[in-house]
A and B are shown apart, each in its own frame.
Chain A
Amino acid sequence: MEVIKINNLVKRFPMGKGYFTALNKINLSFEKGEFAGFVGPSGSGKTTLLNIIGSLDTPSDGSVIVMGKSVSDLTYKQSARLRNKHIGFIFQTYNLLPVYTVFENVEFSLLLQNISASERKKAVMEALEWLDIADKAKSKPNMLSGGECQRVAIARAMVKKPEIILADEPTANLDSENSHRILQTMKKLNEELKVSFLFATHDEKVMKYLDRIIALVDGRVASDEKNISKLEIKV
């Protein structure tokens, strides 16, 4: 089942009197359960591509179909609903809400779906147990290590059981050991729940876990390697 379909995607940003083309004629598609990543140097368009897939931005040209819906045609309300129901985000800096507990941070997306309190509690605790941080449920983010914060962010992304999780440099602020633990967790999530993962990264540790690596150079797809077992990127 195809969860994302990208056709001739072009993204331009105004720059001075002209435009800067961040993405140029991108054509890609992703099946359910893929564990893929966009790699490339800074400015290659990785984050822009993730933003458009996550309906945080819109294409200048071409189309991006996510879960059967064209991102360009969505209203603010519809794109918010798409993110809330089908897409989870994981950020480099975790972006947890500092005044709320771990439990409340994870619970937030479910609050937006009008799920009953008992169901929310069950879902949140399941997610936290799955990520082995149930004992931190009442802790505030400032009481957690970087690795624990990122696990909370993953729990927050997965608690609503999305089809797609978009992770932008998820290991950039983590040490090697924590990076591997987080990646193993994500892989397990991908394999057991069939959640599609799309990364934007230039971390080699991440690349080692990916089943599909799409190299971006100057906004174009330089290579698209599927079913790789070893790192070999043409950049």
Chain B
Amino acid sequence: MLKFIFKGIIRDRSRSLLPIIVVIIGVFITVLMSGWIKGIFSDLIDVNANFTTGHVKIMTSAYAENEAQIPNDLALLDVDELIKKLNSDYPHMEWVKRINFGGLLDIPDKNGETRAQGPAVGRAVDLLSPHSKEAERMNILKSIVKGSLPTKQGEALISNDFAEKFGLKVGEKVTLFGSTMYGSMMFKTFTVCGTISFGSAILDRGAIIIDISDAQIALDMNDGASEILGFFNEGGYNDVMADSVKASFNAKYSSADDEFSPQMFKLRDQNGLDRYISLADSVSGLMVFVLIIAMSIVLWNTGLLGGLRRYNEYGIRLALGEEKSHIYKTIIYEAILIGLIGSIIGTALGLASVYYLQENGIDFSGLMKNVTMMMPGVYRAKVTPDLFYIGFIPGLVAMTLGNALAGFTIYKRKTAKLIKELDV
């Protein structure tokens, strides 16, 4: 009997191909949009994590209190030793040191006289170590407009906006004026090895990026750093794990009595991200929920219409002596089979598309030139574990329920009415 029913499904395209295509499309849209929505919110969090907050961040308590002022006189010391301990205590995380600084960039003319000057916000990250992931993490390589990454000490990347504004070219010199960790005046000349544009005004205005060893020398921060950022090796931000790491670190290394003792903050503790993440979770959850409901209604109706369209067939089968319960079971089996095939194909296609968008993204930086929020220029989708099953809710469950409801009318209608409706 099952073979007989299967033959019918295969031969009748309106029973097989058409509903399968509808299910595939519905599931595909559900998976793609869910991945896209999660990706966008996740991108916003990742940008903050990669540029400023890490998944967790260590600063001195005193530095943390005045972080906006970049008080490097309150920076961490003995960071290499601390990082060694962190690597031992938390081997599932990567730890990187960073120095933030402010200053004045002076551009000399051919005689060495000041041609132009402008305020600059600097970041010093590990660009020269062979295994450093910092350039990749901050998307520096893809953001370089002209030139290349620093390959040796004394080289700097300058904001492309800044360079264009002051007619600065790759290979020319710039001098950074500022103050050392101990408050004395410093100046250091760098060769511009490239210009950079992150596509976000807040990151691009007067930015200078140098290797951390240069900053340590220039700012007299030997074995010091403004902050140490920690990133989970697997996947993105995980609040539960961050909480656990924070608690254990602060219990072990932090002291309430010592303002220079290191203190760990998780991503949610910083820059008002707690509210943002809660909001993002709620909004993305709501959007995915609405999407699933909408797709469920579409596929429910597909199942319902598919079932009602076969009223004629059910009448014939009843007349030939098939039991109502048997017909009902076959309707459900068919719906499950079609829902399953459609959901598997739709999920596979959706995941492939989400993966493609995760790797390549869509570049909206052209539309965000004057955006002052820290937002990514390239928006990516994100493959998350729930994408592997989320499409089955509309694809399998709603489709089956729609068919079940349509099939239920067999019980509700009088048998004679089913037969009478045959003779049209």
Contact = CB atoms under 8 A, between A and B. Distances in A.
Interface of A: 47-48, 51, 54-57, 76-77, 79-85, 87, 89, 91-93, 95-97, 99-100, 104, 107-109, 111-112, 156, 168-169
B12 A99 contact: yes
B422 A84 contact: no
B416 interface: yes
A95 B416 contact: no
Nearest to B319: A89
B7 A100 contact: yes
A79 B415 CA distance: 10
A51 B312 CA distance: 16
B245 to A, nearest CB: 62
Given A99-B8, A100-B7, A109 B320 contact: yes
B323 interface: yes
B4 A89 contact: no
Contact of A97 (B8, B324, B414): B8
B321 A109 contact: yes
Contacts of B315: 95
7 contacts: A56-B318, A83-B321, A97-B313, A99-B11, A108-B4, A111-B1, A112-B326
Contact of B322 (A56, A57, A84): A84
Interface residues of B, number: 29
Contact of B321 (A48, A80, A95): A80
Contact of A76 (B15, B316, B323): B323
B151 interface: no
A92 B4 contact: no
B424 interface: yes
A56 B8 contact: no
Nearest to B11: A99
Contacts of B322: 80, 84, 112
B70 interface: no
B420 interface: yes
B258 interface: no
A230 to B, nearest CB: 30
Interface string B292-320: 00000000000000000000110111111
Given A57-B416, A84-B320, A109-B321, 20 more contacts: A56-B416, A76-B415, A77-B323, A77-B325, A79-B415, A80-B322, A80-B323, A80-B324, A82-B321, A83-B320, A91-B423, A95-B422, A95-B423, A97-B313, A100-B7, A111-B1, A111-B4, A112-B321, A112-B322, A168-B423
Contacts of A85: 321
Interface in B383-424: 414-416, 419-420, 422-424
A92 B319 CA distance: 14
B251 to A, nearest CB: 70
A151 B217 CA distance: 100
Given A56-B416, A57-B415, A100 B422 contact: no
A145 to B, nearest CB: 20
Contacts of A51: 416, 419-420
Nearest to B424: A93
A227 to B, nearest CB: 31
Contacts of A96: 316
B7 A56 contact: no
Contact of B419 (A56, A104, A107): A56
A96 B319 CA distance: 12
B419 to A, nearest CB: 5
A112 B4 CA distance: 11
Nearest to B327: A80
A85 B322 CA distance: 11
Nearest to A111: B1
A123 to B, nearest CB: 15
Interface string B166-199: 0000000000000000000000000000000000
B420 A54 contact: no
Contacts of A47: 420
Contacts of A89: 319-320
A36 to B, nearest CB: 20
B408 to A, nearest CB: 14
A41 B424 CA distance: 18
A56 B322 CA distance: 12
For the complex of A and B, the 5 pairs showing the least CB-CB separation, nearest first, are A84-B321, A57-B416, A83-B321, A80-B323, A51-B416
Contacts of A76: 323-325, 415
A111 B326 CA distance: 12
Contacts of B416: 48, 51, 56-57
Contacts of B7: 99-100, 104
A83 B416 CA distance: 13
Contact of B318 (A80, A93, A156): A80
B295 to A, nearest CB: 29
B366 to A, nearest CB: 54
Interface in B308-352: 312-313, 315-326
B240 to A, nearest CB: 54
